[in-house]
Chain A
């Protein structure tokens, strides 16, 4: 059975990343994951840095979304993010280095703001690694 579709728009200051008809979206809000189907009640929610999944018929597409919020209404879902990255955009080596650097900063516990910044960096690098299908183990060699 063909499921009902709705419009998904993912927009950043740099580009219109996605503008497609989809059957379902799963996104990471600051309060946990939510899945949206067509005809969802109107909601505005703040997104965490995370991987967003959307279902286009049989296909599942993923995208990393950073610093965004989403408006869900009867006809469409609009995600407004600072940046959005496709799996192929991600430089795995760089993300891994960023993760290690962030971990180091957190362990060294420098100034308060440094640790906060490092935590955000860590979160972002983990999202990138998750999106590119890398194992997420945080143990060190």
Chain B
């Protein structure tokens, strides 16, 4: 049976762990609040960008043929697919990392069933570690930005992806990320960012689209606007993933703190019982000794 000293030592160690997890919970809840604030601030921008791009793509569908414009679907056969997976740099966030990498693997499987070769681009060290363990071909990786991505990070990543697309290294690009629904709900999701297809942007109800004119001309506008749209989408997926990742960390650390509390209260109970047993034993020894003297 454990001595009261052993039990005390364990209680001390669990108490330290609890302090750590509690601190991590507070840190991630602050970080989540920040990421969430940025997500909310950027939301009108994301919405309007999507609407505008939808208007543009539908407005020029008749005048520009995909043969002339590499970003459009139908420009070339889709043989080489790239899956961009966004996860955390670190663990301790429950199922967050594994859920998103699982979906990435599923998306990849679907693509290879269509006869396409699939490679990966990972954002967040855990995405890379998980996928590498599964034997995936990873052709690019960005670490250290997943917790608080900036607009500039999104632009740099987009540039890298667009270069691969334009060089013909890949023919289509999917992004697998985690949608931040609420502080306790995060849903892994997948979106194809290239090539673009007007059909991916259905008009909102009551919104009428017409022909669109371009100033100075369509090629100039599209070559400048589409990369902006892509980096906006990249920023959106990064920031919503960051908020989700922090939320998941927060939930995991909350659960860990609660577990630590349970362990401590159980151990305290055991400690009291052991102490009581020791006292009882001592009393009975004294009483036994006194009896023997008579």
Q: How large is the interface on B (under 10, 10 to 19, 20 to 34, 35 or more residues)?
A: 20 to 34
Contact A43 B45, beta carbon cutoff 8 Å: no
C-alpha spacing A30/B232, complex, angstroms: 21
In the assembled complex, the CB of A74 is this many whole angstroms from the nearest CB of chain B, namely: 8
Determine the main DSSP class of A at the interface with B: strand
Contact A13 B52, beta carbon cutoff 8 Å: no
Contact A80 B55, beta carbon cutoff 8 Å: no
| Closest chain B residue, CB of each to CB of A82 | B151
Within 8 A of B (CB), among A1-48: 9, 11-16, 29-31, 34, 41-46
Interface residues of chain B, those whose CB is within 8 Å of chain A, are 38, 41-42, 44-45, 48-49, 51-52, 55-56, 59, 151, 210-216, 220-221, 224-225, 228, 232, 235
Known interface pairs A11-B44, A42-B210, A44-B221. Does A80 touch B215 (Cβ–Cβ under 8 Å)?
A: no
Residues of A within 8 A of B235 (CB): 13
C-alpha spacing A16/B211, complex, angstroms: 27
Contact B151 A13, beta carbon cutoff 8 Å: yes
Contact B49 A80, beta carbon cutoff 8 Å: yes
6 pairs of A and B residues whose beta carbons are closest in the complex: A45-B215, A31-B216, A13-B42, A71-B52, A11-B45, A46-B224
What are 13 A-B residue pairs whose CB atoms fall within 8 Å in the complex? Answer: A13-B45, A15-B41, A29-B215, A42-B210, A43-B214, A44-B213, A45-B215, A45-B216, A46-B215, A69-B228, A78-B52, A80-B228, A80-B232
In the assembled complex, the CB of B216 is this many whole angstroms from the nearest CB of chain A, namely: 4
Name A13's contact: one of B211, B216, B232 (CB within 8 Å).
Answer: B232
Known interface pairs A69-B224, A71-B52, A80-B45. Does A41 touch B213 (Cβ–Cβ under 8 Å)?
A: yes
Known interface pairs A13-B151, A13-B232, A73-B55. Does A80 touch B48 (Cβ–Cβ under 8 Å)?
A: yes
Residues of A within 8 A of B52 (CB): 44, 69, 71, 78, 80
Known interface pairs A69-B225, A69-B228. Does A44 touch B49 (Cβ–Cβ under 8 Å)?
A: no
Residues of B within 8 A of A71 (CB): 52, 55-56
A12, A71, A78, A82 interface centre (most CB from chain B within 10 Å): A71
C-alpha spacing A11/B51, complex, angstroms: 13
